[in-house]
Structure 1
Amino acid sequence: MSSYRQIYYHIVFRTHNGEKVLEQENIRSLFAYIMGIIQKRNCHLYRINAMEDHVHILCDLHPSVTLADLVRDVKASSSMWIKEHPSFPKFKGWAEGYGAFTCSYAEKDRVAAYIKGQQEHHKKFPFEEEYRKLLQEHGVEVDERYPLSNN
């Protein structure tokens, strides 16, 4: 008997100290590299987008892969790749934490559209406000001892 699954995650992570170092004119090459990491782990990338200081990913998680391992692999491998390429000369690394939110099949297209619209969205809202809203919408309690600007 085959195993069936449907595990969609909306993953968000920041640059070190929220520094605005991901130049938009070079971002497509980073997206392609991250897509390769995700595919290598037998997961499927539905949407990726980034602002100068953070990345959003919507992907399917294969049952043999843990969320923590996938995010660790994406962040570690992409960090090494970025440091080897001159496209992002000010990049120092990714921040320690990340946000990961499940979504249903019915929500997948809405989340993908939200990720696609990041540039428009951030004309109105800074990252901290966006991240706090995502946490609240998903019932995640914010620990105020850890500022969202450093996650």
Structure 2
Amino acid sequence: MREVKYHSSNNIVYSCKYHVVFCPKYRRKVLVNGVDTRLKELVMSICSEIQVEVIEMEIMPDHVHLLLDVHPQFGIHKAIKTIKRKTSRILRQEFPWLTTKLPTLWTNSYFCSTVGGAPLSIVKQYIENQKTSQRK
């Protein structure tokens, strides 16, 4: 079992891990023929710039899976928007055929779910028991 790694900065101690999935416009299978490899490089570079840890990444022909650790003050929405905006601009410059197939590289939507830590039921029980455990 993997130990939860906490980060700290200023007054915050956190572990904010997210599973993120997003797709090219119209779910087209355009993340192929070198676009996938370059996309991985760009995601790593952009995440390094914005201080987001990439725990895992997989590029499928028609969607992207990311497992990210994001600072709560930066936020997952801002992280995804930054990744999608920068990768779209660079990939469309480097692979001009992407501009003929799609009006924009990415859809506006994405899937996002928190992961890691204790199961929800355990956290709920811990919070419910706070008042009774304090009296003892």
TM-score normalised by length of structure 2:
0.70
Deviation, 1:27, is: 1.5
* Aligned match for 1:10, one of 19, 23, 26: 19
Match of 1:95 in 2: 107
How far 1:33 sits from its partner (Å)? 0.5
Is 1:72 the counterpart of 2:93? The answer is: no
Name the aligned partner's letter for residue 103 of structure 1: V
User: 3-state SS of the aligned residue for 1:12?
Assistant: strand
Counterpart AA for 1:57? L
Partner of 2:39: 30
Structure 2: any 5+ residue segments left out of the alignment? Answer: 1-9, 120-136
Task: Name the Cα RMSD after superposition.
Answer: 2.1
TM-superposed CA distance for 1:23, in Å, is: 0.5
1:81–1:106 distance in 2 versus 1, CA, 3 Å: farther
Larger Rg: 2
The structure with more strand, counted as a fraction of residues: 2
Alignment-mate amino acid for residue 48 of structure 1 = M
Identify the residue that residue 54 of structure 2 maps to in structure 1.
45
Q: Is 1:12–1:57's contact at 8 Å kept on the other side of the alignment? A: yes
Q: Are the counterparts in 2 of residues 41 and 62 from structure 1 also a CA contact under 8 Å?
A: no
In structure 1, stretches of 5+ residues that fail to align are: 108-151
What is the TM-score with the length of structure 1 in the denominator? Answer: 0.63
